[in-house]
Amino acid sequence: MTEDSSVERANDKQKPRKRIVVRSNGPYEAEPGIAIVDHLGVPVAAEAPVRLCRCGQSQTKPFCDDSHVARGFTDGRDPRRVPDKLDVHAGQQAYVFDNRGTCAHSGFCTDRLNSVFHLGEEPFIAPSGARLDDLINAVRRCPSGALGIGIGPARDTNLSDVDRPPQIEVSKDGPYRLTGHVELVGEDGAPIARNEGASQEHASLCRCGSSLNKPFCSGMHWNVDFHDPVPDPLREPTLFEWAGGYPALLDMTRIFYSRYVPEDPLLGPLFAEMSPDHPERVAAWLSEVFGGPRFYTERYGGYRRMVSQHIGKEIRPEQRALWATYMVQSADDAGLPSDPEFRAAFVAYIEWGSRIAVENSGADATPPPNMPVPRWWWVCNATPAARPSAIADDAQGANEVSVVLPGPDEEVQFDQHIRPLFRPMDRNSMLFAFDLWKEEDVSKHSRQILARLEAGTMPCDGAWPAERIALFARWAFQPHS
């Protein structure tokens, strides 16, 4: 099985192409009918037609707020851009096509298939370095459309592209990822040419304002350190957000059902009749279970539909065990986070859910007809912020506390001076008793907290410096307004 859906493909061919008008020195104007989603696959509320920022300065990203006018944004192509040149790499099973002038440096190919795509090495592509299906999937996943593949010496559109519905994904800190054969036109309606060999199905469009190859992304967002607003660091992420949202889960289920299931003698026959969009359905279910939007309920029918699909399947324990093993393997293959906290929660759900699937699948099983879709959470409060990481990159920031010292005559304020002393992991480890981020709770227990700070028994990973303890004591003993 390949990743595409033949149903989608047939429908798509009949539809007229949607358009994006690229305004001169201004925003992108997307026609109604093009879905706009964030990097987690969650629809971004928008009135159609939509004006999308491409100067990188809007305060209402991804939407345009006319900042391009004040900034004097211009959209000329930079002569220093990488030349438009199609390279052809002949391999034993296929030819791989690559235009470095189109590449947006998302790194999907080098991250996922480094036996073929070599980061910083020449030749960049070793086209015989992987199985043909893995090679095809890597080409299709290239968001800029720089890569193509053909069995002969010409790019084969059917192999290189998947027909998807028209969509703009607002990637995190990066370009708009366009899919679904959307046509790009200038203000005068004239089509905007793409580089040689570029996909017509997908492309990456600059939204940082600094591309050398406007309107396409050239990877400059890395150089200019383009960043979206950071979400509230004090809010615990859902498993859905931590996993990378629907696109990451879909990547995983597609790998599962295309790489592992068909070839397995125990699982293959069970799924022989599955619907072509089964990977989408399971990804939607997992999105919902892991705390994301209610995709499965909205799109496919919720708990009843899911349970009805397992009834009577008579899943055997050895089939379940394989199912769980391959799912974890697919999570690795898809690059889902591998940190202990995420994997503990993920595996716990896979074990729990797959055992319920076995229970529900028996000939005389009577699963309850109306249950809510479960909402899974981090296990035993092992959230990402619950402990300092031992890995250098992760450790930075997680252990840091920003201490704001009040002036000698200034009143110590809880929100400004005290609350920031407690890290998420401190808060989590005390939540069973009280909340270190609530003034009322800390005030009520201030003498006990101070005693433990002075004794060095709190926090559990190391005592506070004397200056911080003194600040807490000053707040604890000052008359509270």
For residues 82 and 217, the answer to whether their CB atoms sit within 8 Å is no
336 near ligand HEM, rule: CB under 6 A: no
The one of ligand HEM, ligand FES, none whose footprint includes residue 270, by CB under 5 to 8 A per kind, is ligand HEM
What is the closest distance, in whole angstroms, from the C-beta atom of residue 109 to ligand HEM in the complex? 29
175 binds, among ligand FES, ligand HEM, none (CB under 5 to 8 A by kind): ligand FES
Q: Which residues make Cβ contacts (< 8 Å) with residue 451, sequence separation at least 6?
A: none
Q: Taking CB within 5 to 8 Å according to partner kind, which of ligand FES, ligand HEM, none is near residue 353?
A: ligand HEM
Phi, psi angles (nearest 5°) of residue 295: -60, -45
Is residue 19 within 8 Å of residue 41, measured between CB atoms?
Answer: no
Residues from 183 through 212 that contact ligand HEM (CB under 6 A) = none
Residues 245-284 that bind ligand HEM (CB under 6 A): 270-271, 273-275, 278, 281-282
Strand, helix or coil at 432?
Answer: coil
What is the size of the binding site for ligand HEM (CB under 6 A)? 23
Q: How far is the CB of 340 from ligand HEM (least distance, A)?
A: 20
Q: Which does 208 bind (CB under 5 to 8 A by kind): ligand HEM, ligand FES, none?
A: ligand FES
**Six token digits for residue 245:** 């949202």
C-alpha triplet 275, 287, 309: angle, nearest 5°: 35
Q: Does 222 bind ligand HEM (CB under 6 A)?
A: no
> To the nearest whole angstrom, how small is the minimum distance from the Cβ of residue 55 to ligand FES?
10
Q: Does 343 bind ligand HEM (CB under 6 A)?
A: no
Helical H segments across 214-261, by residue range: 220-223, 239-243, 245-255
Strand pairing class (167-170; 183-185) = unpaired
198 binds, among ligand FES, ligand HEM, none (CB under 5 to 8 A by kind): none
User: If binding is defined by CB under 6 A, does position 313 make contact with ligand HEM?
Assistant: yes
Strand partners of residue 37: 43, 169
Q: Which residues face 137 on adjacent strands? A: none
Task: Find all residues with CB under 8 Å of 38, minimum gap 6, and list them.
Answer: 44, 169, 170, 245
List the one residue out of 315, 312, 278, 322 whose CA is nearest residue 296. Answer: 278
Element (H, E) at 133: helix 132-141
Q: How far apart are CA 151 and CA 157, in angstroms?
A: 11
When CB distances are held under 5 to 8 angstroms depending on the partner's kind, the choice from ligand FES, ligand HEM, none that residue 315 binds is ligand HEM
- Listed residue (97, 136, 102, 124) closest to 211, CA to CA: 102
Could you say which of 18, 310, 417, 427 contacts ligand HEM (CB under 6 A)? 310
CA–CA dist 455, 473 (Å, integer): 13
Residues 2, 200, 309, 389: which binds ligand HEM (CB under 6 A)?
309
Distance of CA 369 to CAs 299, 303, 353, Å?
Answer: 19, 8, 16
Closer residue to ligand HEM, CB minimum distance, 305 or 445: 305
Residues 54-83 interacting with ligand HEM (rule: CB under 6 A): none
**Eight-class DSSP state of 93:** S
Q: Which of 71, 55, 96, 341 is nearest to 208 (CA)?
A: 55
Q: Interface with ligand HEM by CB under 6 A: which range of 42-50, 55-63, 72-80, 314-322?
A: 314-322
Which window, 11-19, 33-41, 55-63, 304-312, contacts ligand HEM (CB under 6 A)? 304-312
Residue 221 partner contact from ligand FES, ligand HEM, none using kind-dependent CB cut-offs of 5 to 8 Å: ligand FES
C-alpha Rg value of the chain to the nearest Å: 26
Nearer to ligand HEM, 305 or 419 (CB): 305
**Smallest distance from ligand FES to CB 424, Å:** 31
The number of CA neighbours under 13 Å toward the Cβ of 373 is: 23
What, of ligand HEM, ligand FES, none, does residue 287 touch, CB below 5 to 8 Å by kind? none
Residue 328 within binding range of ligand HEM, rule CB under 6 A: no
Closest approach, Cβ 449 to ligand FES, in A, equals: 47
**Rounded least distance, CB 275 to ligand HEM, Å:** 5
Contact residues: ligand HEM, CB under 6 A: 270-271, 273-275, 278, 281-282, 285, 300, 305-306, 309-310, 313, 315, 319-320, 323, 350, 353-354, 357
